[in-house]
Amino acid sequence: MADESAAQLKQKIAQAREVIAHLLDKAAFNGAEAHRALDYFGSDAFEKDFLPWPRHTDEGLRPEELNAANDD
């Protein structure tokens, strides 16, 4: 059962990567953060701090303050 759940989770992550790629393509967005996200979700690696903003703290930059919006 655990092997089946792990396989399904890997398939779901692969689907998520495809959705992200499709949405980025439709939005004509081709920045470094987009490629970073696709690379991350396309690999088996896990980064605890993958998100570019703090999750549960009031410290650090908010998403709108990050430089990702300025990618060319």
Give domain limits for the chain.
2-70
CB 51, CB 61: distance < 8 Å: no
What are the phi and psi torsion angles at 63 (to 5°)?
-50, -40
Q: How confident is the model at residue 61 (pLDDT cuts 50, 70, 90)?
A: low
Judged against a pLDDT cut of 60, whether residue 57 lies above it is answered with: no
Q: How confident is the model at residue 67 (pLDDT cuts 50, 70, 90)?
A: low
Which is more confident, 6 or 68?
6
Mean predicted confidence (pLDDT) in 10-26? 88
pLDDT of residue 8: 92
**CA geometry: angle 65, 69, 72, nearest 5 deg:** 145
